[in-house]
Amino acid sequence: MAGSRLLKKAKGSYLLYSGLIIVVFFIVLAVFAPLIATHDPTAINFDEVFLPPSSVHFFGTDELGRDVFSRCVYGSRISLFVGFVAVGISLAIGVLLGLLAGYIGGITDLIIMRIVDIMLCFPSFFLILAVIAFLSPSVFNVMAIIGLTGWMGVTRLIRAEVLSVRTRDYITAARVQGVSGVKIMLKHILPNVMTPVFVTATLGIAGAILTESSLSFLGLGVQPPTPSWGNILTAGKDNIMFAWWLSMFPGLAIFITVMGYNLLGEGLRDVLDPKN
């Protein structure tokens, strides 16, 4: 009764639950942003600049009189989007190369793992910084480059799992029966290795959101007027003493979200790890 045991374990996991609540909350926020936002996030109103939080503007207003609450709500869309797509790219590359390396082995394995080793040698933030600066920052570039520099862990993970799975009896049996390599990988191996990948992905989303905010701080993240938590926070940092609400709320949003994905990831690991 593996299922019910997992469920029982999951019930006791405070990490999993608190993480899940946070993650779901922000996803709902992003999906229903137009319904939740109280104002047009780009509407400029010079008569209402730098208003502190109130019942009209929950999070106050910024230097152009825009509603910070609505901007944060819409910002959640961009930030989560960046996180999901970047991790999606990492996963796609990582899983593909990992499967290839693990299943085919030999020279393919050698080459792929050498590439992994090389990529791991670079300070990834430097690489991201250089490439984005040279190609000019846009939502697309930011996502793509975070994704393209984050797949190596997944590849290693998948390969290791594949290596341990492929010698099992049912895989050998399938192979003997003449099932094609692709089919074996997709049908038999992939499902078995998805658990650790899922954990990595969850943590990866957190990392991508943080990376976007760091890039924004350097002016290389998602560019205004598109609101992302990173650039709202960066725009507010110069007024940290005078208009604390400009940086406090996007800062908390990033903090809580990243926390949520981390807790979820750790919780998943605890629950899914058979050793515990």
Partner 1 sequence: MMRYLAGRLAGMIPLLFGITLICFFVIHLAPGDPAQFLASMNPKFSETAHEKFVKMYGLDKPIYEQYWIWLKRVAVLDFGDSFTPDGKSVTTKIVERLPVTIWLNVAGMALIFLIALPLGVLSAYKKNSIFDKSVTVFVFIGFAVPTFWLALLCMYYFGVIKGWLPISGLTSYNFDSMSFGGKVADILWHGFLPVFLSVFGGLAGLSRYARNSMLEVLGEEYIISARARGIPERKVVFRHALKNALLPVVTIIGLSVPGLIGGSVIFESIFGIAGMGQLFYQSVMSRDYPVVMGILVIGAVLTLIGNLISDISYALVDPRIRYGRK
Partner 2 sequence: MIRKLLVCLLVLTLFACGQKDSKNSGKEESFKKRDIKGAVTGDAFVESSLGDATGLIMNITSDSASHSVTSKIYNGLVEYDKDLNIVGDLARSWDITEGGKVIVFHLRKDVKWHDGKPFTAKDVEFTYKFMIDPKTPTSYDADFRLVKSFDVLDDYTVKVTYGEPYAPALISWSMSVLPSHLLEGQDVAKSPLLRKPVGTGPYKFLEWKAGESITLVANNDYFKGRPYLDRYIFRIIPDTATTFLELLNGAIDTMGLTPLQWTKQTDTNPRFTSQYDKYQYLSFGYSYIGYNLAKPMFADKRVRQALSYATPKEDIIKGIMFGLADVATGPFKPGTIWYNPNVKKYEYNVEKAKALLEEAGYKPGKDGIMAKDGKKLEFELMTNQGNTVRQSICEVMQKSWEKIGVKVNIRVLEWATFINEYINKQKFDAVVMGWNITNDPDMYDVWHSSNCGGQKLNFVCYKNSELDKLIIEGRKEFDPEKRKVFYHKAQEILAEDQPYTFLYVPQALVTISKRFHEVSPAPAGISYNQDDWWVKKEDQKYNYQQ
Q: What are the angstrom distances between the C-alpha of 98 and each of 16, 19, 49, 74, 90?
A: 27, 28, 52, 36, 11
Q: In angstroms, what is the minimal distance from the CB of 36 to partner 1?
A: 23
Nearer to partner 2, 251 or 260 (CB): 251
Q: In angstroms, what is the minimal distance from the CB of 29 to partner 2?
A: 24
Q: In angstroms, what is the minimal distance from the CB of 131 to partner 1?
A: 6
The site string for partner 2 over 211-250 (x = CB under 8 A, - otherwise) reads --------xx--xxx---------x-xxxxxx--------
Q: Where are the alpha helices (DSSP H) in 136-180?
A: 139-148, 152-166, 169-176
φ, ψ for residue 61, nearest 5 deg: -125, 160
Work out whether 129 is an interface residue with partner 1 (CB under 8 A).
yes
Stretch that binds partner 1, among 73-81, 82-90, 179-187, 211-219 (CB under 8 A): 211-219
Work out whether 94 is an interface residue with partner 2 (CB under 8 A).
no
Contacts (CB under 8 A) with partner 2, residues 125-144: 133-134, 136-137
The candidate with the shortest Cα–Cα distance to 64, out of 50, 84, 54, is 50
What residue 214 binds from partner 1, partner 2, none (CB within 5 to 8 A, per partner kind)? partner 1
What residue 95 binds from partner 1, partner 2, none (CB within 5 to 8 A, per partner kind)? none
What residue 170 binds from partner 2, partner 1, none (CB within 5 to 8 A, per partner kind)? none
| Residue 225 preceded by cis peptide, ω within 30 | yes
- In the three-class reduction of DSSP (H, G, I as helix; E, B as strand; rest coil), residue 48 is classed as helix
Contact present, 98 and 154 (Cβ < 8 Å) = yes
In one letter, which amino acid is 217? F
Q: Compute the distance between CA of residue 263 and CA of residue 139 in angstroms, rounded to an integer.
A: 27
Which conformational region is residue 105 in: left (phi greater than 0), alpha (psi within -120 to 50 degrees), or beta?
left
Work out whether 44 is an interface residue with partner 2 (CB under 8 A).
yes
Work out whether 254 is an interface residue with partner 1 (CB under 8 A).
yes
Contacts (CB under 8 A) with partner 1, residues 60-119: 114-115, 117-119
Distance of CA 226 to the CA centre of its chain: 19
Contacts (CB under 8 A) with partner 1, residues 213-242: 213-214, 217-218, 230, 233, 237, 240-241
Residue 197, exposed/middle/buried by CB under 10 A (0-12, 13-18, 19+)?
A: buried
Question: 9, 27, 37, 42: which one contacts partner 2 (CB under 8 A)?
Answer: 42
What residue 137 binds from partner 2, partner 1, none (CB within 5 to 8 A, per partner kind)? partner 2
Contact present, 157 and 200 (Cβ < 8 Å) = yes
Buried b (16+ CB within 10 A) or exposed e, 69-99: bbbbbbbbbbbbbbbbbbbebbbebbbbbbb
Residues that bind partner 2 (CB under 8 A): 42-44, 46, 49-50, 63-65, 133-134, 136-137, 219-220, 223-225, 235, 237-242
Residues that bind partner 1 (CB under 8 A): 14-15, 114-115, 117-127, 129-131, 133-136, 206, 210, 213-214, 217-218, 230, 233, 237, 240-241, 247, 251, 254-256, 258-259, 262-263, 266, 269, 275-276
